[in-house]
Structure 1
Amino acid sequence: MGQVAEAERLAAEVLKANRTDVAAATILARALIAQNRGEAAIAPLERVVRRVEDAGVEILLGAALGGAGRRNEAIDLLRRTVARRPPFLPAFQELAGQLAAAGRLDEAVAVIEGAIALAPGVVDLQISFARLLLHRNERARARAILAEARDAAPGHPEILTTLARVLLLDGEYTAAADLYRHLLALRPDDAMLRADFAACLLEMGDREGGEANLRQSMRGRPQMIGRSIYALIQSSHGRFFFRPSAVAKFLNEPG
Structure 2
Amino acid sequence: MGQVVEAERLAGEVLKANRTDVGAASILARALMAQNRNEEAIAPLERAARRVEDAGIETLLGAALGAAGRRNEAIDVLRRTTARRPPFLPAFQELAGQLAAAGRIDQAVAVIESAIALAPGTLELQILLAQLLPDCNQRNRAREILEKLRIVAPGHPAILPALARVLLLDGDYAAAAELYRQVLAQRPDDPLTRLSYSACLLEMGDRAGGEANLRLALRGRPQMIGRTTAALTMSSHGRFFFRPSGFAKFLGEPR
Match of 2:111, SS?
helix
The offset of 1:137, in angstroms, is: 2.4
1:241 aligns with 2:244: no
Distance in 1 (CA, whole Å) between partners of 2:11 and 2:217 is 35
The offset of 1:35, in angstroms, is: 1.5
Deviation track 1:6-50 (CA, whole Å, cap 9, x = no partner) reads 222222222222222222222222222122111110011111111
Match of residue 193 from structure 2: 193
Match of residue 3 from structure 2: 3
The offset of 1:103, in angstroms, is: 2.0
Alignment of structure 1 residues 142-157 onto 2, 5 Å: 142-157=142-157
The offset of 1:208, in angstroms, is: 2.0
The offset of 1:206, in angstroms, is: 2.2
The offset of 1:140, in angstroms, is: 0.9
Deviation track 1:152-190 (CA, whole Å, cap 9, x = no partner) reads 211211111110111111122222122112212222222
Is the contact between residue 123 and residue 152 of structure 1 (CA under 8 Å) also seen in structure 2? no
With the length of structure 1 as denominator, give the TM-score of the two structures.
0.94
Alignment of structure 1 residues 76-87 onto 2, 5 Å: 76-87=76-87
Alignment of structure 1 residues 59-74 onto 2, 5 Å: 59-74=59-74
Q: Which runs of structure 1 show a deviation greater than 4 angstroms over 4 or more consecutive aligned residues?
A: none
Match of residue 23 from structure 1: 23
Given residue 56 of structure 2, which amino acid in structure 1 is its aligned partner? G
Alignment of structure 1 residues 4-153 onto 2, 5 Å: 4-153=4-153
Distance in 1 (CA, whole Å) between partners of 2:12 and 2:188 is 35
Deviation track 1:61-115 (CA, whole Å, cap 9, x = no partner) reads 1011011121111111111111111111111111111112222222111111111
Gaps of 5+ in 1: none
Alignment of structure 1 residues 150-229 onto 2, 5 Å: 150-229=150-229
Is the contact between residue 168 and residue 176 of structure 1 (CA under 8 Å) also seen in structure 2? yes
Distance in 1 (CA, whole Å) between partners of 2:214 and 2:10 is 40
Given residue 250 of structure 2, which amino acid in structure 1 is its aligned partner? F
Given residue 73 of structure 2, which amino acid in structure 1 is its aligned partner? E
Calculate the aligned-residue CA RMSD, in Å: 1.5
Given residue 253 of structure 2, which amino acid in structure 1 is its aligned partner? E
Distance in 2 (CA, whole Å) between partners of 1:4 and 1:206 is 44
Distance in 2 (CA, whole Å) between partners of 1:151 and 1:46 is 43
Tell me which moved more, 209-218 or 39-48: 209-218
Distance in 2 (CA, whole Å) between partners of 1:48 and 1:30 is 14
Match of residue 231 from structure 2: 231
With the length of structure 2 as denominator, give the TM-score of the two structures.
0.94
The offset of 1:244, in angstroms, is: 2.0
Is the contact between residue 99 and residue 107 of structure 1 (CA under 8 Å) also seen in structure 2? yes
Match of 1:157, SS?
coil
Residues 174 and 44 from structure 1, CA distance in 2 versus in 1: closer, same or farther, beyond 3 angstroms? same
Distance in 1 (CA, whole Å) between partners of 2:30 and 2:242 is 42
Identity of matched residues, %: 75
Distance in 2 (CA, whole Å) between partners of 1:242 and 1:106 is 38
Distance in 2 (CA, whole Å) between partners of 1:198 and 1:102 is 28
Is the contact between residue 205 and residue 237 of structure 1 (CA under 8 Å) also seen in structure 2? yes
